[in-house]
Each structure stands twice: as C-alpha cells, then as structure tokens.
C-alpha cells in the first residue's frame, strides 16, 4: 500500500482558511487530492488533520467527499503521520502538504520509483532543491517512519515530519532526485494572497475538467506570460525551504 498522507489544517496564520480557497469552482484541497489521483503508483489517500475544533469543518468536508481522514496531535505532526499510516496499513508513505496546488504526479511517481528501485528508506527531490518550491516530494517507508516516531524527542522534528531523516542521514538510506536544471527560485505554493492570485491565473489558463496539467505545461505558460510569475516573486520563501539548502 502506497499512501499519500496530506497534512492539512483549516487554521493558517498567514492566509486563514486557505485550503478552502476557491480555484475554478473547487476548494484548494480538492485540487490537491485530484492531482494526486493521477499518480500511477499511489494507491491510497488520507487527510491527516488535528483535533482542533476549527478542523471539524475539514473532517466534515472529507466525509462528504468520501475522503479518508485521521485526526491527531495539532503540534506533533510526526505522530499524526505515524497513526495515519497505521490506519491505512501503509508500506510506503508520500508526504503531501495541502498548500501546494501544482503537485505533479509524474514527479511523485519518479521519487516513489527511486525509493523502491534503490531499496531506500527515504527519497526526496528537495535537498538540495532543484524543482520549484511547491513541487517538493518526500517518500519514506513505514519502517523508517516508525523509527523516527519512536526515537525523535525534538519538537522541531515533531512539527516537521521529515526532519529526523535529514538530521540522521547515517540511520537511513536516502537519496535526492534532481531536475536537469535548478529552477527552485520559482514559487508554486500558497502562503499569501499573492500566491493564491498566481495560482488562479495558472489554473485559468491550463485547467480542464477531468484532465491535468504538469510542470512542463506551467513552465511553458510562464515563458509565454512572465507577468504571472511576477505576481508572487517577492513573497519570502519558507524557512523550511531555506534550511534544506544548508543541510
């Protein structure tokens, strides 16, 4: 069982309720799930959210849309992932964040294949990053997740699921999947209203019901319409993304 676990919460300090922001008539969270469903390798999807009462809305939405959901610790996301994976009897986990509207199923499958074919514990495409921010892909085995859950005592590692892997490279067989060039300066995630506006512009040009567009399509669009990328080019990158460059 290869499970995509989507960590999601309704509360967001920078852009509240962003997972329900409308894009082409559907909430952001719907688009994230829809894109994952085009993966040829992922067999199961579950939303991992918190016990915070604000996330009652998300649980209700999941049940209305027949999406599996697990609710756990608000701050210990590592624990939330562990019990979500156990609920699904997962062998391999793909970590997905709910504020990334352009997740590419081809990239997801490539990283999954790299993990399987090389018998890795952990595979990723962002250390060092070469893909646009927002196309981050992290894949790990259930055994590795259990080891991290049982051994990590650090709050930062509890909050940021994969940090125990990065900080303990000697304990996990791991490898980075690189793109042919470094385009990590591109920002394809949603934290601010400018990010949401950029996303809506891309979807307005490329989205078709029942179909999907890929990284190559977005790159072609931005080459023809460079003003779209300028909408959110001044939004600061996340500290997590910057930290990866120094690991």
Model-level pTM greater than 0.85?
yes
Q: List the one residue out of 35, 27, 9, 3 whose CA is nearest residue 134.
A: 35
Query: What secondary structure letter does DSSP report for 46?
Result: E
Contact (CB, 8 A) for 101 and 134: yes
* Tens digit of each residue's pLDDT (9 = 90 or more) over 178-212: 999 999 999 999 999 999 999 999 999 999 999 99
Distance from first CA to last CA of the chain, Å, rounded? Answer: 30
> What is the rounded average pLDDT for all residues in the chain?
93
d(CA 68, CA 79): 17
pLDDT at 244: 44
CA 70 vs. chain centroid, Å, equals 17
Tell me: pLDDT of 71 over 60. Answer: yes
DSSP 181-231: S--TTSB-S-SSHHHHHHHHHHHHHH--TT----HHHHHHHHHH-HHHHHT
CA angle 181, 167, 112 (to 5 degrees): 50
Domain count, the chain: 1
Give, in order, the Cα–Cα distances in Å from 158 to each of 79, 109, 115, 184. 7, 26, 23, 26
Collapsed DSSP state (helix, strand, coil) of residue 93: strand
* Tens digit of each residue's pLDDT (9 = 90 or more) over 140-175: 999 999 999 999 999 999 999 999 999 999 999 999
pLDDT at 11: 83
Crossing angle for the helix pair 28-36 and 105-117, to the nearest 10 degrees: 50
Strand pairing report for 138-141 and 92-97: antiparallel
The region that residue 94 occupies, defined by phi over 0 for left and psi between -120 and 50 for alpha, beta otherwise, is beta
- The residue range of the domain holding 13 is 2-245
pLDDT at 246: 39
pLDDT mean over 222-237: 93
pLDDT at 14: 73
pLDDT band at 177 (very low <50, low <70, confident <90, very high): very high
pLDDT at 6: 97
CA 40 vs. chain centroid, Å, equals 17
The CATH number of the domain holding residue 37 is 3.90.550.10
CA angle 152, 153, 158 (to 5 degrees): 70
φ/ψ of residue 162, rounded to 5: -95, 5
* Tens digit of each residue's pLDDT (9 = 90 or more) over 138-149: 999 999 999 999
pLDDT mean over 227-235: 94
d(CA 47, CA 193): 24
pLDDT mean over 123-149: 96
d(CA 116, CA 128): 21
Tell me: pLDDT of 107 over 60. Answer: yes
pLDDT mean over 41-63: 96
């Amino acid at each position: 069982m290869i499970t995509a676990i989507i960590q999601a919460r309704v509360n967001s300090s920078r852009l509240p309720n962003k997972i329900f922001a409308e894009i082409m008539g559907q909430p952001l969270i719907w688009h994230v799930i829809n894109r994952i469903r085009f993966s040829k390798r992922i067999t199961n999807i579950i939303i991992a959210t918190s016990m915070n009462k604000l996330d009652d809305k998300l649980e209700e939405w999941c049940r209305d849309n027949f999406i599996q959901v697990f609710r756990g610790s608000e701050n210990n996301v590592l624990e939330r992932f562990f019990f979500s994976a156990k609920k699904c009897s997962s062998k391999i986990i793909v970590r997905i964040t709910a504020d990334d509207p352009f997740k590419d199923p081809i990239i997801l499958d490539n990283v999954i294949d790299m993990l399987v074919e090389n018998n890795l514990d952990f595979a990723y495409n962002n250390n060092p990053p070469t893909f646009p921010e927002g196309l981050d892909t992290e894949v790990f085995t259930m055994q590795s997740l259990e080891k991290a859950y049982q051994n990590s005592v650090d709050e930062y590692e509890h909050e940021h699921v994969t940090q125990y892997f990065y900080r303990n490279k000697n304990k996990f067989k791991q490898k980075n999947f690189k793109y042919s060039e470094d385009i990590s300066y591109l920002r394809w995630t949603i934290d601010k209203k400018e990010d949401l506006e950029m996303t809506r512009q891309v979807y307005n040009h490329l989205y078709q019901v029942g179909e999907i567009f890929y990284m190559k399509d977005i790159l072609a669009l931005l080459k023809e319409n460079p003003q779209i990328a300028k909408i959110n080019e001044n939004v600061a990158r996340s500290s997590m993304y910057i930290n990866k460059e120094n690991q």
